[in-house]
Every structure is written in C-alpha cells, then in structure tokens.
Amino acid sequence: MTSSRSRVIFWRAAASVAWSVLLLPVTTALFAFLSRFSLFHPIQWISESFSLLYGSYVIFSLVLLCGVVLVVGVFNLEYYTVVPSVPCTKIALLGKVLHPQQSVHSLVHSMMGIMVTWCAATMIGGRYWILAAPCSEEEGVTGQKMCLNEYYLFFLLAGAFMGYSYSLLGVVRNMNYVSFQTIQQCKYLRFKGMLPQVVRYSAVQSLYSVRNYCLFYFFFGYIPRAWICTTLNVHEDSSLHRLDTVSGLLDFRLLYHLWLSGTFLLLTWHITLLLFRIFITEAYSFPVQSSFSEDVSQCLPKVLSEKQPLILKFLALQDLFLLSQQSLSRRMEVFSLSQPGGHPHNWNAICKECLSLLSDLSQRLVEYQEVVASNGRARPLSSHSDQRSTSSETLGMSLQILSIESRPFSSSSVNRFVGNVDPSSPWYGSVQSPHVMRRGPKLWTASTGRLKFAHVKNFLARRVLIMYLFNKLPEASSQALFADSQAHIWALEGLSNLVAASYKEDRFGVVQTMLPSILSTMLLLQEAVDKHFKLPHASSKPVRSTCCLEDSTFKTLRFALRAALKTAMYRITVTFGEHLHSVQMSAEHRKRLQQFMEYKE
C-alpha cells in the first residue's frame, strides 16, 4: 500500500524528467546558436548555426544529453529531502561533504559533467574536435607524430570540475532541500516565473566556476596533461601556447566557450532540479474518507499518521491546511460521524496526529532548553564521580555529536543531547579562553571508558584549526531544531482553521470535545517557543540567499512557526470570543489565554 502512494512521487519525478528532456532541444539549439556567435559576420553566423542544428553530431549529442538529464533526475529523486540536515559545526559540514553517499553523487556528477562538455565541444567543433591531432611541426621527419590537443583536455576537465562543484555546492547550500511554496500557483506559471532567475543564476555560477577552474588549471594543469600524454603516448605540441600559462588562458574565445558550455551544463541541470521541485511539491488532494476499505490507506487521516515517506506526510499536511481553508465540502467530511457507530473517526485521527506533532516539538524545545541551561552551570555529576572533576565547569568538545541533525517526528531526536561528562584535565581551563569555548550550547557524550579519548580531545581542542572546526556555528542548532517545522506550521494552520470553521459548520460538536487539549497544547508550545527565542542567537536573522535555487526557507522556519502559532491562537480566540471562558483549563493557561483575548500578545 505504501508503494501505491509512493508511486505518486515516482510519477511526479518522472513527469519532471520528461519535461526537462522536452526542454533539452530548446536549450541545445540556443547553445549551438550562441556558440557560433560572431559579431562581424551575422549572416554567416546564422546560416552556420542552422546547418549545425541538422547535423548528426547534434542529434547524437541530444541523445547523450537526454541520458545525462535522466541520471541527474534519478539523483534528484534519490537525494532530495524535505527536512534539511543542518550541520552545527564546521567538522559536521566536512563530514557531510566526505560522506560516501555524497562521494558517489560527486563522482557521478563529475562524469556527467565530462559528458556534457564533450557534447558541447563536439557541437562547437573546430579546435575542440579531437583529443590528438598530427603535430603541426614540420621537422617531424620520422613520420606523423600525434600531439595532444590541449583545448580538448581543458574542456573535458572543465566539465568534471563544474560537475564536481555543482555537487559540492549542492551540499553546502542544501540544494537537495525541497521547500513548499507559500502560494499555490499552477506549475507552468511557477516555472515561467522562476526561469529568468534560473538562467541568471546559472550564468553567474558558471562565471565563478570558470574563474575557479582557470585558477585550478593554472596551478595544477600540468598533472593531467602529463598523465594523458604518457598513457596515450602522445606528445605535447611545443609550437602552441600551453594553457597553464597566463597568455594561454587569456584566450577570450576559449573563455567564452568555456563559460557558455558551463552555463549550458548548469542550466540543464538546474532546470531539471527546478522542475523536480515544482512537480514534487504540487498540492495533492487526498480523500478524507473512503467507502471502500481497501482505499482507507490512501485517505488523509491514515497518510498523516504514517512516518515514511516523509514527503507524503508533508503533502498530507499541506492538503489538510488547504482543505481547512478552502473546501467546505471536505471540511464537512472531516466533521462527519462514521455511519455505523457514529464516531468522529476522521476528526479524531487528524486532531490526534496534529497534536502529537505539536507536543513533540514542545518537548524537543524543552529538552533542548534544559541541555543549554545545564551547560556552563555547576551540576553534580552522579555517574562519573570517580573522575577528577574538580572543575565543575563543564566544558569540552563533542566528537560524538558532530551535528544535531534533526530527526523529525520523534521525540527521541533529543536523545542525542545526552547527559554530560566532565573529562576535564588538569591543564584545561587555564590555557583556553573559556570565552571561545562557551559559545553556544556544548553537547557531548562520553562515558568513563572514553576518558582517555576525552583527554585527547581536550588536547586537540587547544589547537586553533581544530577549534575552528569544532566550534559551533551560531544559530545553527536553532535552525536544526526547527528544520521540519513546515509540518508544524501546517498542523497549526490546519487545526486552527478547522476549529474556527467548526463554530459554524460542526453540526455534531465533535470539535468541542478536543478544544481543551488543542488549546493547552498550543499554549504549551507557545511557552516553549517564547523561551527558545530568549536564548542567544535564536532571534538573530540569517543572511538571505540571493537566489531562488538556494532555498533558505529552513533558516527562517522558526520565525514562521512563531508567527503561525500566534495567528492560530488568535484565530481561535477571535472566533470563539467569550465562549472560551467555559473551556476547562488550568489557571496558568487561562491567564495566558486571557492575554490573547485582550490582544496583548
């Protein structure tokens, strides 16, 4: 049954790849057209370009490029995530880059890059045509010596470099993170709106890549060249400029072709990525209830409660949000009673799932606050009394917990904020400025057995580079805590809209019974969120990214959650007004609610 629902995702990804393949001839034609650009012979340029388009090389390249797009599409589908993993330290980021899975990604993309630039080189033709050519030197009396065509090598290597940097930047900038749109535009309009930005972004990124690649080739270009020469037994043409010299690299036409090929490469891949994101995040309408028992697993309450795949849970929450706002008939289904028995199963399931999401978040926040509060404060160590922990300052490094990658929907994600140990060594504290080390919450695990290990860590911690790598990035842990908060925002919006709608539409009063627990859950979360924002770095605004493709939505999700929570509370208080006084709740919550009713929050 899960597979039948996952099939939706698969078909969406397939459709996105199909569209990228369909767009490929257009971008290829544009590339062929621009690659022949010459300002002074416009007629020749245009006629040449047209004759090129019908050439067999272009057709063959197209077939090859389709394959590349397909592979990129498969990687998009395999590597995407709706909950980004936010590295909290530099070393965690490094770990992410060097992760085997990521290495596969980088390797494959480098190879794809080589293929794309090979196609580009073939289409441009001319001096990028073949790897080895007969030497131009005339003194070659011993017959035709084959010489290396360095332009060709330069081009292919550029492809590998760009493919690798695409993959690398993808990790650093969380390009595999798929965020959901704030408004529901149709797919074509979304694509049309984003396309100019994607083109600009690809062109600019290609410019940076060309710059970096030229630097790289200038310093290390001789290595691949020598290697190719020895393995293929070709010679270097001494009559031509070498490309790892300043004069060799200042070939304007070469740089233009390189930049154009890079733009072409990035553009096709970015369009594939963009289409994938657009297709996969499109709102999906789940049935609220079904009269056939075999379809029950497709229904909204069931999908909401599933953990995997995560994207379906997100789509279900989005659907809940949309139906609570827009569709009267589907809301009526939510409020309806089951036919034999008269139980509000739909409402109960939806409400329960939303509330458990929200209380999970509250719990996660509370535990995080406890961990932060316990750091830097004297705290008796119960389990490790044998240690020579005279210094009660709990400082240390966390090798175990390199990152707080938020594991959504489980309160156990906080298990990684495990209790502390004090592996303080005699020299420690005197050398290191505690200032630097106390920045951010310190989280670590250790046990008595790892005492030696901790010693090593503390020793290493004094080295500057290690310090740099292990220092916590400010506000990253806060971002990581709220990484999956899009789900909570939808749960809040959906729940509060349903509650507000129930004022008029709920004929059986099914919502009334849950109102106390909804209110108390929201108020608890409100309290936890308020406390969280009092922590250092929690309320500092992140830098906004410049481009659409580098999605930084997750960086501001905590602010969005705070706003959505207040809006949800106000929606309920505005709708019910004075009637809320008759709802059972604790005195503290009543006081808090009163603040909302007087518009003082």
Q: Which residues bind other proteins (CB under 8 A)?
A: 181-186, 189, 193, 325-326, 493, 497, 504, 541, 544, 553, 556-557, 559-560, 562-564, 566-567, 570-571, 574, 577, 598-601
Min separation Cβ 559 and other proteins, Å: 4
Q: Diameter of the chain by CA atoms?
A: 105
Using the minimum distance from each CB to other proteins, give the nearer residue, 21 or 557. 557
Min separation Cβ 275 and other proteins, Å: 17
Min separation Cβ 318 and other proteins, Å: 13
Min separation Cβ 181 and other proteins, Å: 7
Using the minimum distance from each CB to other proteins, give the nearer residue, 154 or 576. 576
Min separation Cβ 89 and other proteins, Å: 25
Min separation Cβ 299 and other proteins, Å: 22
Using the minimum distance from each CB to other proteins, give the nearer residue, 290 or 553. 553
Using the minimum distance from each CB to other proteins, give the nearer residue, 184 or 447. 184
Report how far Cα 244 is from the mean position of its chain's Cα atoms.
Answer: 36
Using the minimum distance from each CB to other proteins, give the nearer residue, 536 or 577. 577
SS3 81: strand
Min separation Cβ 558 and other proteins, Å: 9
Q: In which element (H, E) is residue 320 found?
A: helix 310-326
Rounding to the nearest 10 degrees, give the CA dihedral for residues 7, 9, 13, 18. 50
Min separation Cβ 563 and other proteins, Å: 4
Q: What are the backbone dihedrals phi and psi of residue 432, each rounded to the nearest 5 degrees, phi first? A: -85, 135
- Please confirm whether the linkage preceding 309 is cis (ω < 30° from 0): yes
Tokens (6 digits) for 517: 């627990």
Write the CB contacts of 391 (distance below 8 Å, at least 6 apart in sequence). 422, 424, 428, 429
Using the minimum distance from each CB to other proteins, give the nearer residue, 134 or 193. 193
d(C-alpha 458, C-alpha 421), whole Å? 13
- Give the residue among 114, 109, 102 at the shortest CA–CA distance from 172: 102
Q: What are the backbone dihedrals phi and psi of residue 235, each rounded to the nearest 5 degrees, phi first? A: -110, 160
Query: Distance of CA 591 to CAs 189, 568, 581, 586, 595, Å?
Result: 47, 17, 11, 9, 7
Using the minimum distance from each CB to other proteins, give the nearer residue, 134 or 577. 577
3-state secondary structure labels for all residues of 211-258: HHHHHHHHHHCHHHHHHHHHHHCCECCCCCCCCCCHHHHCCHHHHHHH
Using the minimum distance from each CB to other proteins, give the nearer residue, 131 or 560. 560
Min separation Cβ 594 and other proteins, Å: 13
d(C-alpha 71, C-alpha 12), whole Å? 16
- Give the residue among 408, 406, 426, 428 at the shortest CA–CA distance from 416: 406
Using the minimum distance from each CB to other proteins, give the nearer residue, 457 or 532. 532
